[in-house]
Amino acid sequence: MTASQTAEITGIYRYPIKGLTPEPLPRIPLRRGETLPADRRYAIENGPSGFDPEEPQWKPKIQFLMLARNERLASLDSRFEEATNRLTIRRDGQIVASGDLETAAGRAAIEGYFTENFQPELKGPPKVLSGRDHSFSDVARKVVSIINLNSVRAIETMLGGTAVHPLRFRANLYVKGWPAWSELDRVGQTLAIGQARLKVVKRIVRCPAVNVDPETAARDLEIPPTLSRNLGHMDCGIYAEVIADGEIGVGDAIAVEEPTLV
């Protein structure tokens, strides 16, 4: 194999609780067949979903509180402590809920906040679900999501110069160095990051969640329709499966591996 078309990781994020605040990471281990550790480990069920923690199965995101429909989630500043499983939620700088998500009392404290404050959006009692080794991802397979920052810049141009915060796309990896939209042609290719290898398996079709500003919680843009008008599709970003273990970090190079010509 030969490596070519090098890019660079500019940011690594995981989302311990689906729909809530991303956690920036300087470095993280990748394991074959897994997501980033603790990525989407928890979700807040919006009415009965049938999810069984003893036999976890993928459920569509409509079953949970999520930004595509519940943009007010972006107004919450949440912090998850992996060592203690404690989630702390702040609103306007004040703690509004806190609890250990692996205890009944801790989950009840979080559920109580959403019961009291998200009533118009609730389809039933909100329930904190723990996925253990399961990931409450938007897709059924365990993947790492990647956003090309040059594609984000291209969207800004489509929008007449309007700034687009990259965290709207809630990716695990943000990269620079690839031409805009070139990542969409990487399906089937292998990405090399140090010892880690990731196989690109799918383009990401964007939903209305990307219309929500992650800082103001305002639904202020129309990104999927803009993509459709300009490109004929609503894809931005790619999903990749980890096929070889390795640790990755901000600043690491990403090379696209191609078969050696004989």
pLDDT grade for 6, boundaries at 50, 70 and 90: confident
Q: Are residues 12 and 248 in contact, defined by beta-carbon separation less than 8 angstroms?
A: yes
Give CA–CA dist 137/128, Å, rounded. 15
Beta bridge partners of 29: 247
* Total-model pTM: 0.94
**Which tokens belong to 193?**
């990051």
**Which tokens belong to 159?**
């929008």
Closest CA to 229 of 165, 159, 170: 159
Beta bridge partners of 81: 86
pLDDT for res 113 = 97
Is a pLDDT exceeding 80 seen at residue 1? Answer: no
pLDDT for res 132 = 79
Residue tagged 């009944």 (tokens): 104
Residue tagged 């993928």 (tokens): 58
Give CA–CA dist 63/53, Å, rounded. 15
Q: How many CB atoms lie within 10 A of CB 59?
A: 17
pLDDT for res 262 = 46
Give CA–CA dist 70/229, Å, rounded. 25
DSSP sequence for 107-165: HHHHHHHHHHH-GGG-SS-EEEEE-TT----SSSS--EEEEEHHHHHHHHHHTTS----
pLDDT grade for 192, boundaries at 50, 70 and 90: very high
pLDDT digits (tens, 9 = 90+) for 121-130: 999 999 999 9
Beta bridge partners of 193: 196
Residues 6+ apart with CB under 8 A from 262: none
pLDDT digits (tens, 9 = 90+) for 61-102: 999 999 999 999 999 999 999 999 999 999 999 999 999 999
Is a pLDDT exceeding 70 seen at residue 261? Answer: no
pLDDT digits (tens, 9 = 90+) for 238-259: 999 999 999 999 999 999 987 6
Q: Is 222 helix (H, G, I), strand (E, B) or coil?
A: coil
Is a pLDDT exceeding 50 seen at residue 3? Answer: no
